[in-house]
Chain A
């Protein structure tokens, strides 16, 4: 059976690449160096798990999904994926990517989800946007591993409940655990803490609800799904910022990890939003194994 070697849940900040790579050093924001070093430290948490393929969870930002036919949950099943759209290249300076797909795990995942009562849509021509490419840039910038992309609707209400997102994560975990393969799989999902877009609290010095962000990180870091399900609703998220329902994909990632304490937790308070970097190691913490190896040598 496949090994789930790491689960990563992170915010996605589309300006990271522009702020740290495309802007000349003398013009960079004061936090650029710290931001970059936190991202590089986070990347190490994935590298240490030695993944061979990636299950990626994200959300389309009105690039390929529109109200004429908006899927609630969708999986890509393709041999390869193109990435990033014209308007996110225009606005964020996003790079383009061509990522290899893993059709076998996509097919196994799709069937497994249907069997568990998650009636997914499926695409054979899915183009990937920055919700998946941001974490590729931060955690696997070479884009050298095959992916299985899973898209959720966190954007066009009404949305499924927080519990449904958690249960979907649990189902994805079971399916990865049952995948008949000797591969090491990592699951990486991106979403948001409190966030406002196109409203009166956007682009402030901090995110729209910094206190809620600290609470939300603590819930996730402790694997405290009970508190999340008691406190997080569509209304509560919307009160913290109109785009805060992006938190649902972080709840989904906790579902994949299970109700466990995270092995790695970091964050960075930036203008407009707080960034979060979190990793679980369902198969044991490989960084501790490294330490043991070094100590023995």
Chain B
């Protein structure tokens, strides 16, 4: 399990409106592009000289990112703030239009309701 790699994907995509739009439109293509062009370089700041071999996704992590599976991400211990922020960025406006304010946030919350009263998966790396 490579929480660091998953967190880095969420961090890098969420801070760039062009990448975020690409991740919304075609998640599989964006994840593949990130793995090919961004993950192999040191750090999350977009530099493209220094290489780094430590950032790799498992098949299951790749699936969760491709499927926007925020429940799975919560359960593997991806950081809750990164996960919440990026998927609000992707879904909030569409949900707002169809179902009103906070509709996406409430659906997200309710999909995690089986965790109420239990100790959540740790976000520590």
Contacts and interface: CB of A to CB of B under 8 A. Distances in A.
Interface of A: 61-63, 66-69, 85-87, 90-91, 155-158, 197-204, 238, 242-243
A242 B11 contact: no
B15 A67 contact: no
Interface stretch (B24-32, B61-69, B102-110): B102-110
Interface in B46-93: 70, 74, 79-85, 88-89, 92
A90 B115 CA distance: 29
Interface string B1-31: 0001001100100111100000000000000
B89 A87 contact: yes
Dominant secondary structure at the B interface: helix
B36 interface: no
Contacts of A62: 11, 79, 81-82, 85
26 contacts: A62-B85, A66-B7, A66-B44, A67-B4, A67-B8, A68-B8, A87-B14, A155-B81, A156-B123, A158-B124, A197-B84, A198-B84, A198-B108, A199-B74, A199-B115, A199-B120, A200-B113, A200-B114, A200-B116, A201-B109, A202-B108, A203-B105, A203-B109, A242-B80, A242-B120, A243-B80
A195 B88 CA distance: 17
Contact of A198 (B7, B15, B80, B92): B80
A66 B8 contact: yes
Contact of A91 (B79, B88, B115): B88
Given A62-B82, A203-B105, A243-B81, A157 B115 contact: no
A86 B15 contact: yes
Contacts, number: 83
Contacts of B7: 66-67
B96 interface: no
A157 B123 contact: yes
B89 A91 contact: yes
Given A85-B15, A197-B80, A203 B106 contact: yes
B43 interface: yes
A243 B85 CA distance: 14
Nearest to B12: A66
A221 B14 CA distance: 38
A63 B8 CA distance: 12
Contacts of A155: 81
A157 B85 CA distance: 19
A204 B109 CA distance: 9
A120 B34 CA distance: 34
Contacts of B43: 68-69
Given A156-B79, A157-B124, A202-B109, 8 more contacts: A66-B8, A67-B8, A68-B44, A87-B89, A155-B81, A202-B84, A203-B109, A243-B80
Contact of B81 (A61, A90, A200): A61
Contacts of B92: 91
Contacts of B11: 62, 66
Contacts of B17: 86, 90
Contacts of B74: 198-199
A295 B100 CA distance: 53
A143 to B, nearest CB: 23
A83 B4 CA distance: 27
Given A61-B81, A242-B120, A199 B109 contact: yes
A200 B89 contact: no
A200 B82 contact: no
B105 A157 contact: no
A158 B125 CA distance: 9
Contacts of B125: 67, 156
Contacts of B102: 203
A85 B14 CA distance: 11
A14 to B, nearest CB: 11
Contacts of A66: 7-8, 11, 44
